[in-house]
Amino acid sequence: MSLRSTNIDKIRNGDFDVLIVGGGINGAVSAAALASRGARVAMVDRGDFAGFTSMQSSNLVWGGFKYLENYELALVRHLCMSRNRLIKAYPANLREIRFLAALDEHSPYKPWFAGLGSTAYWLIGNAKTRPPKVYSKKKLAKKEPIIQMDDVIGGIEYSDAYVVDNDSRFVFQFVRSALNVGAACANYVELTAAYRDSSGWRAELRDNDSGETFECKARVIVNAAGPFVDDLNKALDIKTDHQIVFSKGIHLIVPRLNKNEEVLAFFDDTERLFYVIPMGSRSVIGTTDERVSDPVTHVETDDRDFLLEQINARLDLPEPLTPDDIISTRCGVRPLVVERTDDSHAETDWTSLSRKHAIEVDPSDSFVTIFGGKITDCLNIGEEICDAALELGVRLDKDRNDWYGEPPKATRDEFFRQARLMGLNKLRKRASFETLSTRLWRRYGMRAFAMLEAIRDDPTMADEIIEGAEYVRAELFYAAKTEMITKLDDFLRRRSKIALVLGREVLSDADGIREACELLFGDDAQRRIDEYFAADVMAQDAGDPSAR
């Protein structure tokens, strides 16, 4: 029986303290935090976990330097503290990274002023990262030769952090953490209706893979549906003081542009910051910020051409980037919270809209809604949801802060000792950016010990199944059992970043795909391959529910 079937069995006719609707970052941290404190939790997502917004972020864990422009000091302080806490809790998964911002005549700030801002930013973050620097034009050119220097007058360097693997994999760690302490979580399960009576909520659910419908009961519902929170509240007749508006952002993934492990930052022609972010052997260019009314978005030709034009003007590349260089794309909407108004376009200064989140608790309906949020702020959201559950009468154990974070240093040292003694990194030629032991530890923590064991038994377990995928056979065995991979896209795009790094064209011809699918899906392998390659690529990239 698969992990997913076991969890659906638990949810079917189950009686829970809390039912969480949505398995993006907000739903996942809520499930992990509540379940670790003894609540009986169910969490469902109508697509895959992190299958919508939470797989489309810039992968940055940051204090929001750019929000200083709007003097949002309290927000920046709050996000810097969240960032610091995450970096401390996830030393292998999140890394401090330098941002190198090139400033030209048209930039809104001179280097000295940006330098002052970056010092203020550093101090607001309690100086926990490396200190910022200001560069003259000459020094900047030496530091990063890829920058087109013609109009540049200088630059600054400061620190934030990034998710080394992928946002969606980071989210899945919280799903795993929730499963480990008894939560019942299932992907491809949709809440279709819910009714409230004196004993609590009765929820109607549908398995979107098999079509089966079933029910469960819950005392409290947490609406963590991201861009769909308002739709769900409307369907359940829940009234709120806030609502969501959408800001679309796209990213283009291209072959690695610069050697240094740093983020390059530039102001685009509209004076908005955009970035070149490292992703292993690739670079990610983005993002954009455009108000839209539909949460399901796609990379349009105009968006793509705008980003290509901006980056080509700012980098000194042997050949300008063209659409043919794009390996894959990311596209999503930021769910931004605003006060509810009858006029959905009342907000005029769009880019200055705050990136805060709001949690509304409705005691009369035992209902909680999470509006907005960021991956950076996820630990706070988990804690705030526990406070909300307590307010609604759910009994929780004391918070031991054990629902997040990596294993202690002594465990880590033991893993690397064993890996070194068995010669793990000699079994595989060093990947360009990191060793196999570093990768396995980051992705699996404690569970990576079992992979060492499997590789000791059978060294072919350290072989890459799909060339260039940075994913070895042992990981596939593990993923098949413990990562609730239901469709091929769950594996290629979210538990791993293979689809982003290799692109669909390469994957359609890749030798290892069949073996990978046989390991993951057994007899169902061919159906899952056909389903993946037949799906509308753009819709699937955008997490469009209709493409599932």
Ligand X SMILES: Cc1cc2nc3c(=O)[nH]c(=O)nc-3n(C[C@H](O)[C@H](O)[C@H](O)COP(=O)(O)OP(=O)(O)OC[C@H]3O[C@@H](n4cnc5c(N)ncnc54)[C@H](O)[C@@H]3O)c2cc1C
Report the nearest approach of ligand X to the CB of residue 407 (Å): 24
CB of 532 to ligand X, least distance (A): 18
**Count of CB atoms within 10 A of residue 454's CB?**
18
> In whole angstroms, what is the distance from residue 481 CA to residue 495 CA?
13
Reference 29, options 360, 381, 367; nearest CA is 381
Tokens, residue 277: 């972010």
C-beta closer to ligand X: residue 366 or 425? 366
Task: Tell me how far apart the alpha carbons of residues 423 and 120 are, in angstroms, rounded to a whole number.
Answer: 46
| CA-wise closest residue to 222 among 231, 233, 214 | 233
Q: Report, in Å, the least distance between residue 371 CB and ligand X.
A: 8
The angle at the Cα of 221, spanning 217 to 222, to the nearest 5 degrees, equals 145
Instruction: List residues near ligand X by CB under 6 A.
Output: 21-27, 44-47, 50-54, 56-60, 190-191, 224-228, 232, 249, 287, 332-335, 373-376
CA distance 494 to 483: 10
Nearer to ligand X, 23 or 132 (CB): 23
Residue nearer to ligand X on the CB measure, 374 or 428? 374
- Dist. CA 293–CA 345, nearest whole Å: 10
**Residue 299 beta carbon to ligand X: minimum distance, rounded to whole angstroms:** 11
- Do 38 and 90 meet the contact criterion of CB atoms below 8 Å apart? no
Return the number of the residue (376 or 496) whose C-beta is nearest ligand X: 376
CB 113, min distance to ligand X, A: 25
Q: Which helix (H) or strand (E) holds 391?
A: helix 378-391
**Beta-strand pair 15-21/60-61:** unpaired
Compute the distance between CA of residue 451 and CA of residue 457 in angstroms, rounded to an integer.
10
Of the pair 27, 125, the CB lying nearest ligand X is at: 27
SS3 122: helix
Q: Work out how close the CB of 453 gets to ligand X at its nearest, in angstroms, rounded to a whole number.
A: 34
Question: Shortest distance, CB of residue 145 to ligand X, whole angstroms?
Answer: 27
Complex with ligand X: residue 53 or 240, whichever CB lies closer: 53
The smaller minimum CB distance to ligand X, of residues 246 and 444, is found at 246
For the bound state, the minimum distance from the C-beta of residue 381 to ligand X, rounded and expressed in Å, comes to 9
Pick 57 or 173: Cβ nearer ligand X:
57
Least distance between ligand X and beta carbon 409 (Å): 26
Instruction: List alpha helices for 52-97, DSSP H.
Output: 73-89
- DSSP secondary structure string for all residues of 433-464: S--HHHHHHHHHGGGHHHHHHHHHH-GGGGSB
- Of 151 and 190, which has the nearer Cβ to ligand X? 190
Peptide bond into 287 cis (omega under 30): yes
Q: How is residue 370 written in tokens?
A: 């999470």
Residue 362 is encoded by which pair of tokens? 């409705």
Tell me the C-alpha to C-alpha distance, in Å, between residue 159 and each of 106, 112, 311, 406: 24, 17, 22, 22
CB of 485 to ligand X, least distance (A): 16
Question: At a CB cut-off of 8 Å and minimum separation 6, what does 443 contact?
Answer: 165, 169, 475
Q: 265 or 436: whose CB is closer to ligand X?
A: 265
- What percent of the residues of the chain are helix, what percent strand, and what percent coil, each to the nearest 5? 40, 25, 35
The set of residues, in sequence order, having a beta carbon less than 8 Å from that of 171 and lying 6+ positions away, is 23, 24, 25, 28, 49, 50, 54, 55, 375
The distance of closest approach from Cβ of residue 334 to ligand X in the complex, given in angstroms and rounded to an integer, is 4
Packing angle, helices 73-89 and 111-124, rounded to 10: 60
Token pair 């080394």 is found at: 164
Of 111 and 335, which has the nearer Cβ to ligand X? 335
Q: What is the radius of gyration, based on Cα positions, of the chain?
A: 23
Question: Measured from the CB atom, is 254 or 507 closer to ligand X?
Answer: 254
Please give the Cα distance from 144 to 124 (Å, whole number): 27
* Smallest separation, CB 244 to ligand X (Å): 9
| Helix (H) or strand (E) run with residue 324 in it | none
Q: Is the dihedral of CA 93, 475, 44, 489 positive or negative?
A: positive
Shortest gap between Cβ of 393 and ligand X (angstroms)?
A: 24
CB of 495 to ligand X, least distance (A): 15
Residue whose CB is less far from ligand X, 27 or 115: 27
Gap between the terminal Cα atoms of the chain = 23
Q: Which is nearer to ligand X, 223 or 437 (CB)?
A: 223
